[in-house]
Chain A
Amino acid sequence: MRELIGSLLVLVSFSYGLIEHFDEKVTLAPVRNNELRVDFRFNSDRRFDSRTEVNDFLTFPRIIQELLNRYAVHKLTVTMAHGRWNLDEWGLPPQPSAPAGAQVFAEFEAVGEEDADERMKFLVEALNGVLCTSISHIKVVTAPDFVVLENHKNRKRNLFKRYGVLSGETTCTENLTRLRKLLACKENGLSTLLHPSKLYNSLYHSSHLVIEQHREKNQCEAKMEVGVTVVMRNPSQKGQRPWSFADVFDRKLGSQCKIARSSQIDIIGPSGEITTTDVRNLTAISGAAPIDVSIPIAAIAQKQSVVKAWSSQGGFEQQHGMLTVHITNDDSASKIQVTQIIPYYVHLRYSRIHWKCDKGGNPSIEKVLKNSKGLEAPTLLQYKMSLSAGQTCELIIPFDKHLLRLEQYPPDANHGMHIPASSVFVEKSQFSYSIHSNAILVLLPVPDFSMPFNVICFVATAFALVFGPIQLYSTLWLAPVVKKSQWGRKVHRAILLVIIVFCLYAHMMDINLNEVRRGIETYFEKLNELK
């Protein structure tokens, strides 16, 4: 019955030129003994004729279409991640690669740079609404010249690009809930495996949302990809038994997504062979008879070698610091493009930035430094170079840590602030990918947060010290004393003394000024009552 309605809907929509598809896939690959990598990919696409565009949506989420249309977005990538991808053991990270925290890359149309900044602000807020994130205070950089993310490598003209990373952003259940709400099948199919109980008890988890829209004449194509990647460790220390769905997701697969075009489970064996199970072909699947799979525990024998990147911090005090990005090439020559965002709270020592490479010295390097407009705007450093096989290069960025205004500090300023991870885009002859290093936490010098009034008073006093005499000497005349009544001075001193005594008394007796006020109020209230 349901399928019938579905096909009927499809038929109806065909007449409008509307085609929508939904694909789901989960890939399970053991990456190391006892460690399992799980990749969910949900793809949704929608083709329609913009002339007869109707607000009919079959499987594609309407809110995404509205987002695409309202902000004229051509491509938007949002990633959220927690933990650090272990490049050594786990191989190539999921693409688009995600640094810890949140990352936004947007390509969209706008009238000018200022309009683009404004639009990006709205877009970020809209994303907050869609994804339940809190990235309003993301600091966005303007138009990176070199490639940052693999899926944004194609250069398009006339498009405005904005890129931002927020390293401190946490990602938790509520984000996953919102991502699930974008899927065509929320309550059945593979999305039921996206259950928070196990996913957040993991070594690494990242999720991304990529949406894009192409327009050719009147034919529009909108695409959405929702991906979740988790690397989890088997809690049972024995690790002899193969993994099952119950181990991985705390549940079995008890339903099918009937409207999906494809719905498959891929299991990658130790030698790289892929076992595919098409969920749609399984007939006997229900809540009572869920399916389960057996996942081998052995690690994949042949690991793909990848370029590695990591960041470290130097310096021992709170004034100067040094960020070093280490990049090690794999065993074949590759072209890399390095992107590093420097936030406003560190001051770049531009004359001291340099590269240090082993094996064959420094290759020729193209570089771009860009400052974004606006208050608290970050600086973008980008480099393009070729590395020979096995070469290690270090990008050394010395910086001064800035003292900030009181309200620019986060609530727990002593925790420090992040310098975002650098992104490395690797281009081989056959393929390309991007990786991220780790963010570093910089301890900034902090003022004393408890005493703004004292400082204001002290500095104002210093000013008074110079203006007092100037005023005095320019309006009065110094002269030998004849005789003068001391009464005024005595009364003045007495008043000062009384105030000081009261202050001391209040201090010693722990008198709360609010209580004093309350006391006075109740006294007056009593007086009123007596009347």
Chain B
Amino acid sequence: MVESKEVQTNRKDEGDSSSFNLLLPVSAAVAVRAASFAYSDYFEERVEFTSTVYSFERVKDGIAMLDDGLDPFETKNMHFLPLTLYVVRYLLKTSPVLLASLWILLDISTAWIAAQTAQKVWDSVHGRDDRNIGKLVFSLYAYNPIAIISTGILSLTVVQNFVFAAIFFFLVSDRPAACALLIGAWSSFTIFPFILISCLAFRSNGSIFKFLSLVSLSIFSAATFFALNFLLNGNSLNFVEPTYTSILKFTSIQPNVGLYWYFFVQIFEHFRSFYTNSFVILYFFMPIPITIMIRRDPVLHFTIIGLLVSIFFPYPTLNQVSFVLAILPLLEEYKKHFRYTLLIGGTIITTIALMPVMWHMWMVSSSGNANFFFGATIVYNVALINLVMDMIFVYSRRQIDLEYSDTLTKKTKMDFAFY
């Protein structure tokens, strides 16, 4: 049922990992990250780089409460799982420098894994050619200022991107079990990434049984993490409400770069539960049509689902999409069909540049109001959504190219028809 013609992965490729010279780019990336720690004060409270579930400063609040023998989950604003708190607490206690170097290591590994995986995909599709796609992907992630700053402020998105990259790697290198385990583990923190499980449909060899067993594997992994949290929290379930429920019910409405915060500030109380439920149901329903639609390209599918995870997560930061944007060059064969490349690229850059300005106008100088910042965030999100839309379009367009390439002329118009 599910075909994977284009990505023929096999383990023989693994030996060719160092297809480009690593030393210089890696050391440069490490250097800028180390330098960014010096400027962390400027960014650690920025709304663009932190959110209620990723801010390291807030993790510290939780740790301080643990140190004082208080239950951090009594406060409704502690959105971190006990596991996060205890692990970071252990790392902080051991050595803060270690923490910083660990974060740099994770971020560089993300870039490196992304590069390796991209190279592998590229080689399997295009054969060995001169283009060094790995280096491009590495640079796109490693020198992305957003990723650099996020490392500098010890944002938890760095860990998330690492997991993201690892899932991509295991997906491409055809290790669905490891993939399922990682997806489950990650979902146990923020729930929303669970729709990545639909990517495993491409790795089940068309067997629904295998797919279901992969799903149960990832649920098992999530349950294990949940149990671990439960045990760490002294056999108490009170962490569920401030963490899981707050994600599923969008309870925290503090400004971030996501779609929902202003909506749930403004929504009328009677409609709140209707909208929370609709948004969650629609989100978890989305991968089904997409998986049915895009059945011939796991990489494109992964990119789309990854973008959706980032866009529709209630408390995102800008760094959320860094990884997906870094692997975009893999969509080379669709490039000519993208309709809004310039528009989307321009919009994303403009809105990211405008966000601090709007924020300043609203929060600091009070010369603007909340609509200004909301405007920037919604346009940013609409740009990302347009990117998704365009990806779905280019897929369909390319299928036409593949099937009717002989009859198409440049002037042929495209339209929708019942199939």
Contact = CB atoms under 8 A, between A and B. Distances in A.
| In the complex, A touching B (Cβ < 8 A) | yes
A521 B397 CA distance: 54
A452 B290 CA distance: 32
Interface string B395-419: 0110110001001100011111111
A448 B371 contact: yes
B123 interface: no
Contacts of B290: 470, 474
A369 B308 CA distance: 40
A452 B267 contact: yes
Given A317-B364, A447-B265, A459-B259, A481 B412 contact: yes
B197 to A, nearest CB: 18
B10 interface: no
Interface in A329-357: 347-351
Interface centre among B77, B293, B419 (most CB of A within 10 A): B77
Interface in A457-493: 458-459, 462-463, 465-467, 469-474, 476-481, 484
Interface in B250-267: 253-255, 259-267
Contacts of B26: none
B414 A478 contact: yes
Interface stretch (B167-175, B213-221, B377-385): B377-385
A466 B389 contact: yes
Given A405-B264, A451-B266, A455-B374, A477 B64 contact: no
Interface string B56-90: 01001111110010100011110000000000000
A52 to B, nearest CB: 47
A504 to B, nearest CB: 23
Contact of A405 (B253, B282, B366, B404): B253
A84 to B, nearest CB: 27
Interface string B291-323: 011000000000000001001000000000000
Contact of A465 (B262, B389, B393, B399): B389
A349 B45 CA distance: 12
B266 A452 contact: yes
A407 interface: yes
Contact of A406 (B65, B260, B265, B378): B265
Given A402-B254, A451-B266, A371 B371 contact: no
A462 B381 contact: yes
Contact of B363 (A319, A351, A404): A319
A324 to B, nearest CB: 19
Nearest to A468: B389
B269 interface: yes
Contacts of B366: 318
Contacts, number: 162
Contacts of A447: 262, 265-266, 369-370
Interface residues of A, number: 50
- Most chain B CB neighbours (cut-off 10 Å) among A349, A466, A469: A466
B279 interface: yes
Contacts of A509: none
B353 interface: no
A459 B375 CA distance: 10
> DSSP majority for the A interface?
mixed
Contact of A480 (B60, B253, B407, B419): B407
B230 interface: no
B75 A456 contact: no
Contacts of B268: 406, 452
B362 interface: yes
A472 B266 contact: no
The residue among A347, A459, A467, A472 with the most chain B CB atoms within 10 A of its own CB is A459
Interface in A51-103: none
A379 B72 CA distance: 12
Given A448-B371, A452-B266, A455-B266, A480 B400 contact: yes
B152 to A, nearest CB: 19
A390 interface: no
A371 B74 contact: yes
B362 A445 contact: yes
A403 B65 contact: no
B389 A481 contact: no
Given A403-B254, A456-B266, A459-B262, A448 B385 contact: no
B178 interface: no
B355 to A, nearest CB: 14
A367 interface: yes
B386 interface: yes
Contacts of B386: 465
A117 B260 CA distance: 33
B289 A471 contact: yes
A520 to B, nearest CB: 28
Contacts of B396: 473, 477-478
A350 B364 contact: no
A462 B363 contact: no
B8 to A, nearest CB: 26
Contacts of A463: 259, 279, 282
B288 to A, nearest CB: 9
> Interface centre among A367, A403, A465, by most B CB within 10 Å?
A403
A476 B63 contact: no
Nearest to B286: A470
A446 interface: yes
B34 interface: no
A316 interface: yes
B65 A466 contact: no
B191 interface: no
A320 interface: yes
B90 to A, nearest CB: 16
B289 A470 contact: yes
Contacts of A456: 263, 266-267
A492 to B, nearest CB: 15
Given A446-B369, A456-B267, A466-B388, A478 B254 contact: no
Contacts of A404: 253, 265
Nearest to A455: B266
Given A369-B70, A406-B266, A465-B389, A477 B382 contact: no
Contacts of A400: 254
Contacts of A351: 57, 60-61, 63-64
B375 to A, nearest CB: 9
B263 A459 contact: yes
A472 B364 CA distance: 44
Contacts of A402: 254
A407 B272 CA distance: 12
> Could you say which of B61, B260, B418 has the most chain A C-beta atoms within 10 Å of its C-beta?
B61
B260 A476 contact: no
B392 interface: yes
Interface in A370-395: 370-371, 379
A49 to B, nearest CB: 45
Contact of A476 (B255, B412, B417): B417
A462 B259 contact: yes
A479 B266 contact: no
Interface of B: 45, 47, 57, 60-65, 68, 70, 74-77, 253-255, 259-269, 279, 282, 286, 289-290, 292-293, 308, 311, 362-364, 366, 369-371, 374, 378, 381-382, 385-386, 388-389, 392-393, 396-397, 399-400, 404, 407-408, 412-419
Given A445-B363, A473-B392, 4 more contacts: A351-B63, A369-B70, A405-B269, A480-B407
22 contacts: A348-B75, A351-B63, A367-B68, A369-B65, A400-B254, A403-B255, A406-B268, A455-B262, A456-B266, A459-B378, A462-B259, A463-B279, A465-B389, A466-B286, A469-B389, A470-B286, A471-B289, A477-B396, A478-B393, A478-B400, A480-B404, A481-B414
